[in-house]
Chain A
Amino acid sequence: MTTLLLSLPVALPLLAALLAVAASRQAAGLAMATGFLVLGLSVWLAFEVAAAGPITIALGGWEAPLGIVLRADGLGAGFLVVSAMVMAVVLVAAQPSFEDQGQESRAGFAFWPLALLLFAGLNTAFLSRDLFNLFVALELLTLSAIALVAIEGKAGSVTAALRYMVFALLGSVLFLLGAALAYAAHATLDIGLLAQVELGWPMAAALALMTMGLAIKTALFPFHAWLPPAHAGAPAPASAMLSALVPKASFVILLRLWFDLAPELASPLLLAVLGGLGAVAVIHGSLLAIGQDRLKLIIAYSTVAQLGYLFLVFPLAGGAGGAQPWSAGAWTAASFHAFAHMLAKAAMFLAAGLFLRAVGHDRLEGLRGLARAMPIACFAFGLSAISLMGLPLSGGFTAKYLLLTSAFASGQWGWGLVLVAGGLLAAIYLFRPLNLMFSKEGAAASLTPVPRWEQVLPLLLALAAVLLGLFSAGPFAFLQIGRPGAAAEGLLP
């Protein structure tokens, strides 16, 4: 049973993608069914992990170092569940735009296999413990994502996709070099086995290369320039996947590298650099978001800022001084922040897509008075904004609260200031669209009507983001399952 539970979240999207290429008429139905099936399986897997602890399978019956190991711990299963929630909703939301009626169209053919392959790559990245296999998973994920950016077929989106590709391939090469070096040094690619051997200089170089590659793929400042045009230029369901899900895969691998594989190689300088770049991303991304006057660009720059918070986990959870009570809090907070961002950002992009369809463009002035015509979608946008700002009772709040507590408890006040400033700046850049949406005046004359059920989809995700904050005890405990020792004790001795 465990074999099926761990392999189906990867195998089902792969199979559905292949069938979608061969039988494109059934692609939309297949994809939606796969989304819900994988969601069900992931929840089931999470219950198994909660009951029995981390589950490990050796693919083909070959144990590491010969074979590839998949492992579901609290972190991996948690990301699996939340990304399946987002994916299930996004695939339904994509149906009106991409399901072909009658003759097959270019975008109607390409969207479904690409979305499903992105899903498969993502799930592999959350579960695999093999460095080369993780590289292949990232390739599948990134190449599908790049193609989705270009799927509108406009010159602007193709340019954004090409730019994304140049950055992403640079990241891939660096990660691959690191993986090759790790194998050359220790004759294994398995994270679990590498964690047990004594690591020397070659492994330090390997980790430096892999960290650089993953930082580029996670769009960490200063490697973020590709992200806003790519995420804003894609059609809304694709933007939701790209912004909410894709950068999380490389971030989870970064967590595994530093907290599982090589906590002993972390140095104060490394932690300060990663945290510092994250802090700059928070401030820089937020300031740029304030300056935008197109809704999708605001949301995309917000992603640059929100991804920055994730990197504060390195100084906060990894910081100096033996067993620290706040380390586990900060380590868990990073996952919480990622979950809240996945749900809220997907909701926001889906809502923005509906606004775009109703108004015909995504310049901010078009939002004036929209809440009267599209109350549900505007409410969804508002709820997800609450989580992104980190206001109380939302998932974003729980994450920021945990991060702030560990920043103050460990005496690292500077990071705390970044958290507070980031929240304020988020309130500023999200206030403009919200204020316009809920303004009393404004013409709602020539809007294209959007069916109510489509407006409910972003609301579901936004509600999940808020509920994550209301019921945070369960997920918090779940994330501790199989938690690496370094996440409780810090990275530095």
Chain B
Amino acid sequence: MIGTALDLVVVALLVAAALAAVGARGLFAGVVFFVGYGVFVAIAWLRLDAIDVALAEAAIGAGLTGVLLLGAVGHLTRAGAGAPPRRPAIPLALACAGISVMLGWAVLSLPDAPGLQAPVAAALPGSGSTNPVTSVLLNFRAFDTLLESIVLLAVLVGVWALAPDAAWGGRPGLVQRVRPDGVLAGFGRLLPPLGLLVGVYLVWAGTKQPGGAFQGGTVLAAVWLLASMAGVARAPRVTSLILRAALVAGPVLFLAVGMAGALGGSFLGLRPDWAAALVLTIEVGLTLSIASALALLVLGPPERPA
């Protein structure tokens, strides 16, 4: 009873935040509502017992995307762009409504399919992890995860390609000016150690409980961003070899394990007796690469002449 009531409240808040984000008067307000929407989506995933998805949604959907969008609003304001035109997009609204009705109707007429929980549980021993989500991501459907971690890299290369030619070789993002005794500088020193601990724990715990490379990587990216915004750490140059190595380390490791499997007869296959060690190694590598890629995506391309 209380559960149902809570669900109804979350659903109402979700719809309200979505409408507010679309209908907000200014871009900034729209982004704020969008971040709120992301938080409610994360709560909805929690209510559906999908803790891994909830963590990812809170960290990436609400957190990092929100920061990216706020950064974009800042850029637009500095560039002197006016508010977007406010005209009702009726054809678009009708198309969205049509698709929503079709989706809703299809979902309501879904058969009672059992899902894949049973086969996943049966295959779990020897898969390298006792958290079914981690086993799906790094073993059963490792190919998806490999490609996704590389998609992140493709996007970063695409963002870097937007740099002015003269800025190539410089440091990503704009210069941060921080008052040495200000709040930001204080938090910039206080929070990173805690964040590091949480991030590393999320990766470590991911083999047994909810967590993993994407969630831990996001927290670590946030740590780097905070330190960078507080002026404690400077981002390395985009041509830095160490930076490039960190960006590709995870996918290269993942691919190398996959190719070794292919030589043994199964691409991306993990030997059951080595699976646990391999899964953890890949997770650690991916965390490094995902954290660097996410942080660099938020910092953006280098903008000042090198």
Genuine A/B complex = yes
Interface, chain A (partner B; CB < 8 A): 3-4, 6-8, 11, 14-15, 17-19, 21-22, 24, 57-62, 65-68, 103-107, 109-110, 113-114, 117, 120-121, 124, 132-133, 136-137, 139-140, 143-144, 146-147, 150-151, 153, 158, 174, 177, 181, 184-188, 200-202, 204-206, 208-209
Which listed segment binds A: B25-33, B184-192, B202-210, B261-269?
Answer: B261-269
A106, B165: Cβ atoms closer than 8 Å? yes
Tell me whether B151 is interfacial, beta carbon within 8 Å.
Answer: yes
Tell me whether B48 is interfacial, beta carbon within 8 Å.
Answer: no
**Cα–Cα distance between A117 and B99 once the two chains are bound (Å):** 32
Given A11-B262, A106-B165, A202-B158 contact (CB < 8 Å): no
**What A residues does B144 contact at CB under 8 A?**
68, 132-133, 136
Task: List 28 contacting pairs A-B, 8 Å CB cutoff, sorted by A.
Answer: A3-B267, A4-B263, A7-B267, A11-B259, A14-B150, A14-B251, A14-B255, A15-B255, A17-B153, A18-B150, A18-B251, A18-B255, A22-B248, A57-B266, A59-B266, A60-B268, A65-B116, A65-B119, A104-B239, A106-B160, A109-B160, A114-B157, A114-B158, A139-B151, A140-B147, A143-B151, A143-B154, A201-B105
A147, B161: Cβ atoms closer than 8 Å? yes
Interface, chain B (partner A; CB < 8 A): 99, 102-103, 105-107, 109-111, 113-116, 119-120, 123, 139-144, 146-148, 150-151, 153-155, 157-158, 160-165, 168-169, 239, 241, 244-245, 247-248, 251-252, 255, 258-259, 261-263, 265-270
**Cα–Cα distance between A113 and B110 once the two chains are bound (Å):** 42
B157, A4: Cβ atoms closer than 8 Å? no
Chain B binding surface, main DSSP class: helix
**What A residues does B142 contact at CB under 8 A?**
59-60
A60, B151: Cβ atoms closer than 8 Å? no
**Cα–Cα distance between A355 and B102 once the two chains are bound (Å):** 50
A192 smallest CB distance to B (angstroms): 16
A202, B262: Cβ atoms closer than 8 Å? no
Chain A residue nearest to B161 in the complex (CB): A110
**Cα–Cα distance between A181 and B160 once the two chains are bound (Å):** 35
**What B residues does A139 contact at CB under 8 A?**
147, 151
B239 smallest CB distance to A (angstroms): 6
B140, A21: Cβ atoms closer than 8 Å? no
A305 smallest CB distance to B (angstroms): 25
B266, A147: Cβ atoms closer than 8 Å? no
**What A residues does B251 contact at CB under 8 A?**
14, 18
**What A residues does B269 contact at CB under 8 A?**
59-61
**What A residues does B123 contact at CB under 8 A?**
62, 66
Given A62-B140, A153-B162, A209-B99, A147-B154 contact (CB < 8 Å): yes
Chain A residue nearest to B108 in the complex (CB): A202
A234 smallest CB distance to B (angstroms): 12
A22 smallest CB distance to B (angstroms): 5
**What A residues does B266 contact at CB under 8 A?**
3, 57-61
Most chain A beta-carbon neighbours within 10 Å: one of B106, B123, B169, B261: B106
B219 smallest CB distance to A (angstroms): 24
**Cα–Cα distance between A188 and B120 once the two chains are bound (Å):** 12
**What B residues does A184 contact at CB under 8 A?**
107, 110, 113
B110, B119, B241, B258: which contacts A202 (Cβ < 8 A)? B110
**What A residues does B140 contact at CB under 8 A?**
60, 62, 66-67
A86 smallest CB distance to B (angstroms): 20
Chain A binding surface, main DSSP class: helix
**What B residues does A22 contact at CB under 8 A?**
241, 244-245, 247-248, 252
**What B residues does A140 contact at CB under 8 A?**
147, 150-151, 154
By Cβ-Cβ distance, the 7 closest A-B pairs, closest first, are A147-B158, A205-B106, A7-B267, A110-B161, A106-B168, A61-B266, A18-B248
B168, A187: Cβ atoms closer than 8 Å? no
B107, A11: Cβ atoms closer than 8 Å? no
**What B residues does A158 contact at CB under 8 A?**
162
Given A14-B150, A144-B154, A60-B270 contact (CB < 8 Å): yes
B206 smallest CB distance to A (angstroms): 19
B259, A110: Cβ atoms closer than 8 Å? no
**What A residues does B261 contact at CB under 8 A?**
60
A224 smallest CB distance to B (angstroms): 17
B149 smallest CB distance to A (angstroms): 10
B156 smallest CB distance to A (angstroms): 9
Chain A residue nearest to B118 in the complex (CB): A187
Given A153-B161, A187-B115, A60-B109 contact (CB < 8 Å): no
A200, B109: Cβ atoms closer than 8 Å? yes
**What B residues does A62 contact at CB under 8 A?**
123, 139-140
A260 smallest CB distance to B (angstroms): 20
**What A residues does B102 contact at CB under 8 A?**
205, 208-209
B143, B150, B153, B239: which contacts A133 (Cβ < 8 A)? B143
**What A residues does B262 contact at CB under 8 A?**
3-4, 7-8, 11
B237 smallest CB distance to A (angstroms): 11
**Cα–Cα distance between A22 and B255 once the two chains are bound (Å):** 15
B115, B248, B255: which contacts A11 (Cβ < 8 A)? B255
B267, A202: Cβ atoms closer than 8 Å? no
**Cα–Cα distance between A309 and B212 once the two chains are bound (Å):** 46
A93 smallest CB distance to B (angstroms): 20
B277 smallest CB distance to A (angstroms): 16
**Cα–Cα distance between A456 and B157 once the two chains are bound (Å):** 31
A206, B106: Cβ atoms closer than 8 Å? yes
**What B residues does A6 contact at CB under 8 A?**
267
Chain A residue nearest to B136 in the complex (CB): A66
**Cα–Cα distance between A410 and B127 once the two chains are bound (Å):** 54
Most chain A beta-carbon neighbours within 10 Å: one of B139, B168, B241: B168
Given A153-B165, A186-B113, A68-B143 contact (CB < 8 Å): yes
B141, A150: Cβ atoms closer than 8 Å? no
A236 smallest CB distance to B (angstroms): 17
**Cα–Cα distance between A50 and B151 once the two chains are bound (Å):** 33
**Cα–Cα distance between A68 and B141 once the two chains are bound (Å):** 6
Beyond the given A109-B157, A153-B161, could you list 5 further A-B residue pairs with CB under 8 A, ordered by the A residue number?
A109-B160, A113-B154, A133-B147, A144-B154, A150-B161
